[in-house]
Amino acid sequence: MFFKIWTHHHSAILLCVCYRPQWQGREPIEYLHTHLDDLLQQHTCEHVIIIGDMNQHLVARSFDDFLTVYGLTNQVDFPTHISGSSHDPVISDLPDSVVTCSPLGAVGSSDHMAILNTIQVAAQRDAPITRTNWLWGRADWDGLCDALQQTPWSIILVNDVDTQVHTFTRTLLELQKKYVPNQTYTAKPLDKPWFGYQCRMAANEKSRAWRLYSRHPTHPNKERYRHACAAMKEIQQWAQRRWQDDLKIKLSGRSVGNKSWWTTLKQQQGLRTDDTIPPLFKSDGTVATKNKDKAEVLQTVISWGRRWQVDLAPEKTQAMLISRRQRPPDTPIPTILLGGRPVPLQTSISILGVEVNSVLTFTDHIRTIARKSAWKLSCVRRVSHLLDSQGITTLYAAQVRSLMEYAPLTWSSCPPSYLSLLHKVQARAQRLIRLKALQHQLLPPLQPLQQRRDVAGLCVVYKTHKQHVPHLAALRQPWTRPHDHTTRTAATRDHQLFVPFARTETSLRSFLPRYTRMWNRMVQQTQLHSTSSLQTFKSAVNAWIKQP
């Protein structure tokens, strides 16, 4: 069963109550996996909550993949059955601080525990702010130009540069207030972006009419209140339509991909860029704003660093024991000390954004990036009603696929079952794009992720052995020796590479064994290794891999 929950700030949550019997297979989970995005789009819901007796311990792999591909979290971390296992999950894409679950004990003769789910849907209220709308179409431009010409700039712009800029800005703002009409109104934190000056005036008129009618319940006051309600509803509908039409024009057509398109879209996603350069603070705690103060602060920091040098920080140091043992060793592992402080052992460490675990596999890293990609794709879905198919494709390639293609040749040796998590995320994106396509519009499918990884790997081999890039010299493999007798591949033997020996399947899928074998197969079938340009080689290899 599905329910739609409206919150007070005009958003909606899709609630799914699901029961999966023990004898049933993965069909309920596969149904949600295939149709969840469609249901959220169809009912205009931003978030989802799935509850019920799903017996997920019997289909643990499908259940975990479903959570990973959609970026969901199971909020139940306690037993819900008398056997001590957990059969009743509460799955949601809401933050952990919003959804809380607690057990209530058994109900009657049931062998399941009751669960209390609390959802904090109230938004944090900020203080109201005052906004000013400048009516530039009704400005007195002639009077403003005369005032600017008559201003004694040589007299008021004195002292240092900072003082002159402050005086110049203050003078322009004073003249703007004098010659440009404006409208000032109070904006509340929960106001929608289309709720402007006219909507606020209509809301204030409705509030005044209601207060008057509540004090004096006469027929004229009632009619005034009814007219105020109708006027407010009409103005809000007009403002909302105009805002959505303007936004769709900005986010579709030829404007897709430009700077204003990205700025507007990130505002709708709730994303903002953080300051990459932190402010400089002086010794008294104030912010250094003048150039002289900034130079003094930087010189102080540089002098301090030269005098005291840089020491290792134990709290930032990671240690990991690499072992394939299923059980801990008999002898205790000695404690690692750094600066007199113990460094705890980690089950996995992150090096330049790539996570590797204690058994030297990247499975945890794949699950992490699949979950992050699914979360970003959910952000794309929440603004997809404002975009066309081209806009969703551009947004997916920039925000989602780029995350799944960070250092792919490092972790491409993962088993196909884990790499399929990334492919399922891309399949979600393909379904979103098809939902926004026109009726007779033919959309090309997204390029497979494995094909893009193979093209990248062969390009690295080309740069290593044909272009002799210095920083890739460690990946260089020796050329194979020619045969003493004539064979079908003897003509291309000089251009083939020596394939390193691989004992395990994981090693066989790693970079050197996989792409040296692929390079040799390409040399036997084509003449692409003789290409002089990397771009030409990349395009030709892309077409060669695409062949059945």
Residue 132, both tokens? 């000013």
| End position of a domain, from candidates 216, 246, 269 | 269
| End position of a domain, from candidates 119, 154, 179 | 119
Claim to verify: residue 216 and residue 134 sit in the same structural domain: yes
Residue 223, both tokens? 């009619």
CA distances (Å), 341 to each of 318, 321, 335, 344, 347, in order? 13, 18, 10, 10, 19
Whether residue 204 is contained in a domain is answered as: yes
Res 518: pLDDT: 92
Whether residue 278 is contained in a domain is answered as: no
Claim to verify: residue 11 and residue 86 sit in the same structural domain: yes
Whether residue 103 is contained in a domain is answered as: yes
Res 489: pLDDT: 63
d(CA 523, CA 525): 6
Range with the lowest mean pLDDT among 63-77, 147-161, 268-282, 506-520? 268-282
pLDDT tens-place string over residues 239-289: 888 888 887 777 776 666 677 777 777 777 666 555 455 677 777 778 787
pLDDT tops 50 at residue 373:
yes
d(CA 423, CA 548): 19
Q: What is the dihedral of CA 399, 403, 408, 413, to 10 degrees?
A: -130
Res 406: pLDDT: 92
pLDDT tops 50 at residue 545:
yes
Whether residue 284 is contained in a domain is answered as: no
Res 528: pLDDT: 87
| Average pLDDT rounded to a whole number, residues 324-353 | 81
| Average pLDDT rounded to a whole number, residues 445-463 | 92
| End position of a domain, from candidates 242, 269, 296 | 269
Claim to verify: residue 98 and residue 150 sit in the same structural domain: no
Average pLDDT over the chain reads 84
- Which range marks the domain in which residue 80 is found? 2-119
Claim to verify: residue 482 and residue 441 sit in the same structural domain: no
Res 252: pLDDT: 72
pLDDT tops 70 at residue 327:
yes
pLDDT tens-place string over residues 381-402: 888 888 888 888 988 999 899 9
Domain count, the chain: 4
Specify which of 36-45, 83-92, 252-261, 424-433 reaches the highest per-range mean pLDDT. Answer: 424-433
Residue (of 417, 404, 394, 405) closest to 373 by Cα position? 404
Q: Is 395 exposed, middle or buried (0-12, 13-18, 19+ CB in 10 A)?
A: buried
Sign of the four-CA dihedral 169, 172, 177, 181: negative
| Average pLDDT rounded to a whole number, residues 351-377 | 90
Res 275: pLDDT: 46
Claim to verify: residue 133 and residue 262 sit in the same structural domain: yes
